[in-house]
């Protein structure tokens, strides 16, 4: 939090103008913290801030109330300038109970604002959070500006007379917190008021109760003298245009429909519910008016197989999942490689292995995407780097799939999927073109389904087209005719041909871009959702005069043409990633460069400050 100016409103209260602030809401998984975070984000983007968010919730839907395992948090970084991460240290923490305090206090900045629900600090809750003494009384919080609010009591008073039972009334208390946060950060409450009216149109008493709670929270801030300082974060000044808020999963589904529209191919999405990818299925299912066909299959395998069937029938076919589901789809991806049918496979990565950490983020599926199939089975792999970039990379994955008649893996991750940021809505004319036509020429009978164009893509001939009857399948295909062939020389040829086709995509993708100097001491290479943290850390070190640049790889197979040459222009290269060094391994083997690894696997994104430390350590060895 950077204070730019401060003025006194009255003797006791000051309003500080700040450039940026990071706030975290934390409570039980049933406390509605995600909702509060979402509303705060929405109001902030509509107000004109740049935002980046980090929802962090447990895998259990309702873990035991008050337990450490059940704590759900939502962090938002909002600013009057461009930002790339949800922030490292938190300037204000709203903790609904002792467990939420315990789990989150380490991330609160020294001197930061700590708002707690005093009513929840009962002996029982303290015990559940493993507190030996009450932190509100034992002096352990003396480094923070602690504001204790009898939240439950005040909230009950606010909704009194509406005839709500105690439980329903208690459920509104997250809106009290939201109202208070709006007041502290000088946000307009209108957006949430409108949302409540719409959301609870059929339950006006619930809408009224939540509104009263929020207003009570807002007025509590105004009237109490507990809070000595409020803040104003001015509008950011981004490029002109119309904006909307997107999460990564929303952006992915938007991108898929957009690709369907600009390629004039109907979208088919087959999927099986899995955290954190389910929202793509839900979102697409709600958009049938755009001609989208969604299929919630009986399992991950059926989901990809149905997509392959739809692709054979002429659809832009996609399937989405996360790591364990990816493992099940492996054989299906192989079939799509062999039949050379277009298919987009989205992997919203989560913590692994096995079931791992379903709700936490990780980047440990790179090897799986690049190599995880039987046989020589090349698949193009792309990775989105921000929530809004998921929109563009979903279009790219679709474009490459159809243009080259191949499955394409698009990697996103839990952090991107759930994180929100503004998306500048593009001009439709500026979107990439996808001009792929079905093959319909019946005159060249007998049809040869494994002939190829200049990109080595085979023709996409649809059932229903006279004279083009042909069979595809998983058995090795004879070059040109597509008949089954066990011929050794043909197999060797086809293996190399499929590889060459995927390698050739390099001519169709943008060159890698360096952020910073074109040569120097250290180049940090990243991929996927770590973009914001790496960017922020590198910018910070560059401002301190360090010779450091960064490069973010969005095309992981094939790599951009200029990547190898760029790596060789720096004294040291480091790959920063949320795994044990998978990109590092690939870069080393591919380019024979001694790439260092900066990594962690805690189910959390990198913090910019920890990256700064790691990069400095490498810089010191030069």
Partner 1 sequence: MTVDSQTTPLSPKDYASDQHVRWCPGCGDYSILAQMKKALAELQIPKEKCVFISGIGCSSRFPYYLDTYGIHGIHGRAAAIATGLKMARPDLSVWVITGDGDGLSIGGNHFIHTIRRNVDLNIVLFNNRIYGLTKGQVSPTSEFGKKTKSTPWGSVDNPVRPISAALGAEATFVARTIDTHVKHLANILVQAAQHKGVSFVEVYQNCNIFNDGAYLYATDRQQKFDNVLELEHGKPMIFGKNGEKGIRFKDFHLEVVTIGENGVTENDLLVHDETRKDPSLAFLLGNLSYPEFPEPIGVFRSVSKPSYEELVANQIQQAREKIGKNELKDLLYTGDTWVVE
Q: Can you spell out the DSSP letters for 13-79? A: -EEEEESEEEEEEEEETTS-HHHHHHHHHHHHHHHT-EEEEEEE--SSTTPPTT-GGGEEEEEEEEE
Span 185-244, contacts to partner 1 by CB under 8 A? 191, 237-244
Q: Kindly state the helix (H) or strand (E) to which residue 5 belongs, with its residue range.
A: strand 3-8
261 binds partner 1 per the rule CB under 8 A: yes
Contacting partner 1 within 425-464 (CB under 8 A) = 425-426, 428, 442, 446, 462-464
**Which is nearer to partner 1, 102 or 477 (by Cβ)?**
477
Q: Which residues of 245-260 are buried (b: 16+ CB within 10 A; e: fewer)?
A: bbbbbbbbbbbbbbbb
| One character per residue 478-497, x = contact with partner 1 (rule: CB under 8 A) | -----xx-------------
Region of 59-67, 263-271, 592-600, 612-620 interacting with partner 1 (CB under 8 A): 263-271
Selected from 193, 327, 335, 593, the binder of partner 1 by CB under 8 A is 335
| Residue 297 sits in the site that holds partner 1 (CB under 8 A) | yes
Closer CB to partner 1, 259 or 574, in the complex: 259
CB 74 within 8 A of CB 24: yes
Other C-beta atoms closer than 10 Å to the C-beta of 430 total 6
Choices 83-91, 334-342, 574-582, 600-608 (CB under 8 A): range interacting with partner 1: 334-342
> Cβ of residue 474: shortest distance to partner 1, in angstroms?
6
Q: Which residues contact 317 (CB under 8 A, 6 or more apart)?
A: 268, 269, 270, 307, 308, 310, 311, 341, 342, 343, 344
In whole angstroms, the minimum distance from the beta carbon of 376 to partner 1 comes to: 17
- Residue choice 471, 496, 544, 568 for contact with partner 1 (CB under 8 A): 471
Residue 28 to residues 96, 107, 125, 309: CA-CA distances in angstroms? 7, 18, 11, 44
Scan residues 120-159 and list those touching partner 1 (CB under 8 A).
none
Work out which of 219, 287, 569, 604 binds partner 1, going by CB under 8 A.
Answer: 287
Among 473, 499, 500, 622, binds partner 1 (CB under 8 A): 473
Q: Rounded to whole angstroms, how far apart are CA atoms 116 and 438?
A: 62
Both tokens of 437, joined, read: 């036509």
Which residues, other chains included, contact 120 with Cβ-Cβ below 8 Å and sequence gap of 6+?
Answer: 66, 96, 97, 98, 151, 152
Four-residue CA torsion sign, 129, 131, 137, 143: negative
Residues 7-46 interacting with partner 1 (rule: CB under 8 A): 42, 45-46
Nearer to partner 1 among residue 15 and residue 302 (C-beta)? 302
Q: Which residue's CB is nearer to partner 1, number 103 or number 315?
A: 315
Cβ distance to partner 1 smaller for residue 59 or 301: 301
- Scanning 68-76, 91-99, 306-314, 450-458 for contacts with partner 1 by CB under 8 A, the matching segment is 306-314
Q: Taking CB under 8 A as the rule, which mask of x and - marks residues 567-596 in contact with partner 1? A: ------------------------------
Under the criterion CB under 8 A, does residue 328 sit at the interface with partner 1?
A: no
Q: Which of 21, 292, 567, 576 binds partner 1 (CB under 8 A)?
A: 292
> Do residues 89 and 116 touch, judged by C-beta distance below 8 A?
no
CB–CB of 36/54 below 8 Å?
no
User: Residue 389 or residue 413: which is nearer to partner 1 going by CB?
Assistant: 389
Using an 8 Å Cβ cutoff, are 301 and 328 in contact? yes
Binding mask 241-260 for partner 1 (x = CB under 8 A): xxxxx--------x--xx--
CB of 447 to partner 1, least distance (A): 11
- CB count within 10 Å of CB 541 equals 22
Does 315 help bind partner 1 (rule: CB under 8 A)? yes
Among 16, 17, 48, 148, binds partner 1 (CB under 8 A): 48
The DSSP secondary structure of 397-414, one letter per residue, reads HHHHHHHHTSEEEEEEEH
Task: For residue 5, state whether it binds partner 1 (rule: CB under 8 A).
Answer: no
For residues 91 and 23, is the Cβ–Cβ distance under 8 A? yes
Q: Select the span of 113-121, 296-304, 520-528, 538-546 touching partner 1 (CB under 8 A).
A: 296-304
Q: At 509, is the secondary structure helix, strand, or coil?
A: coil
């Amino acid at each position: 939090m950077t204070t730019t100016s401060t003025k006194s409103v009255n003797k006791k209260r000051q309003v500080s103008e700040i450039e940026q602030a990071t706030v975290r809401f934390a409570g039980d998984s049933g406390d509605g913290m995600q909702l509060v975070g979402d509303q705060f984000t929405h109001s902030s983007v509509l107000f004109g801030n740049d935002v980046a968010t980090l929802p962090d919730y447990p895998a259990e839907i309702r873990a035991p109330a008050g337990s450490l395992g059940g704590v759900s948090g939502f962090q938002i970084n909002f600013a009057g300038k461009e930002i790339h991460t949800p922030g490292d240290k938190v300037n204000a923490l709203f903790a609904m109970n002792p467990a939420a305090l315990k789990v989150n206090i380490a991330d609160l900045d020294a001197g930061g604002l700590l708002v707690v629900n005093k009513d929840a600090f009962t002996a029982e809750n303290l015990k559940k959070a493993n507190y030996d003494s009450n932190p509100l009384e034992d002096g352990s919080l003396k480094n923070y500006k602690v504001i204790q609010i009898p939240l439950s009591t005040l909230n009950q008073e606010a909704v009194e007379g509406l005839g709500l039972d105690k439980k329903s009334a208690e459920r509104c208390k997250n809106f009290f917190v939201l109202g208070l946060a709006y007041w502290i950060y000088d946000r307009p409450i209108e957006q949430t008021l409108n949302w409540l009216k719409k959301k609870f149109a059929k339950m006006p008493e619930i809408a009224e109760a939540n509104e009263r709670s929020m207003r009570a929270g807002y007025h509590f801030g105004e009237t109490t003298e507990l809070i000595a300082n409020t803040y104003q974060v001015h509008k950011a000044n981004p490029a002109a245009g119309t904006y909307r808020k997107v999460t990564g999963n929303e952006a992915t589904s938007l991108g898929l429909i957009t690709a369907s529209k600009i390629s004039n191919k109907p979208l088919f999405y087959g999927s099986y519910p899995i955290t954190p990818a389910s929202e793509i299925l839900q979102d697409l299912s709600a958009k049938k008016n755009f001609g989208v066909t969604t299929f919630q299959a009986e399992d991950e395998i059926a989901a990809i197989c149905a997509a392959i069937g739809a692709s054979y029938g002429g659809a832009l076919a996609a399937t989405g999942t996360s790591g364990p589901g990816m493992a099940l789809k492996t054989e299906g991806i192989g079939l799509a490689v062999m039949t050379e049918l277009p298919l987009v496979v989205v992997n919203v990565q989560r913590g692994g292995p096995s079931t791992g950490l379903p709700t936490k983020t990780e980047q440990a599926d790179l090897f799986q995407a690049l190599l995880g199939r039987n046989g020589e089975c090349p698949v193009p792999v792309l990775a989105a780097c921000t929530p809004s970039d998921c929109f563009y990379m979903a279009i790219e994955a679709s474009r490459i799939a159809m243009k080259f008649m191949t499955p394409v893996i698009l990697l996103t991750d839990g952090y991107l999927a759930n994180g929100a940021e503004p998306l500048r809505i593009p001009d439709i004319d500026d979107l990439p073109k996808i001009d792929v036509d079905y093959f319909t020429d019946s005159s060249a009978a007998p049809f040869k389904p494994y002939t190829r164009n200049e990109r080595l893509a085979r023709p996409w001939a649809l059932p229903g087209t006279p004279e083009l009857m042909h069979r595809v399948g998983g058995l090795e295909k004879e070059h040109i005719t597509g008949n089954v062939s066990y011929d050794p020389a043909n197999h060797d040829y086809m293996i190399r041909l499929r590889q060459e086709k995927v390698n050739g995509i390099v001519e169709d993708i943008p060159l890698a871009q360096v952020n910073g100097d074109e040569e120097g001491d250290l180049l940090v290479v990243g991929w996927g959702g770590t973009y914001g943290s790496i960017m922020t850390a590198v910018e910070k070190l560059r401002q301190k005069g360090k010779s450091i640049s960064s490069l973010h790889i969005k095309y992981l197979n094939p790599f951009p043409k200029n990547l190898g040459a760029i790596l060789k222009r720096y004294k040291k290269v480091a790959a920063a990633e949320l795994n044990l060094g998978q990109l590092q391994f690939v870069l080393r083997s591919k380019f024979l460069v001694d790439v260092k690894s900066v990594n962690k696997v805690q189910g959390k994104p990198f913090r910019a400050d920890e990256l700064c430390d790691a990069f400095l350590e490498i810089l010191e060895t030069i």
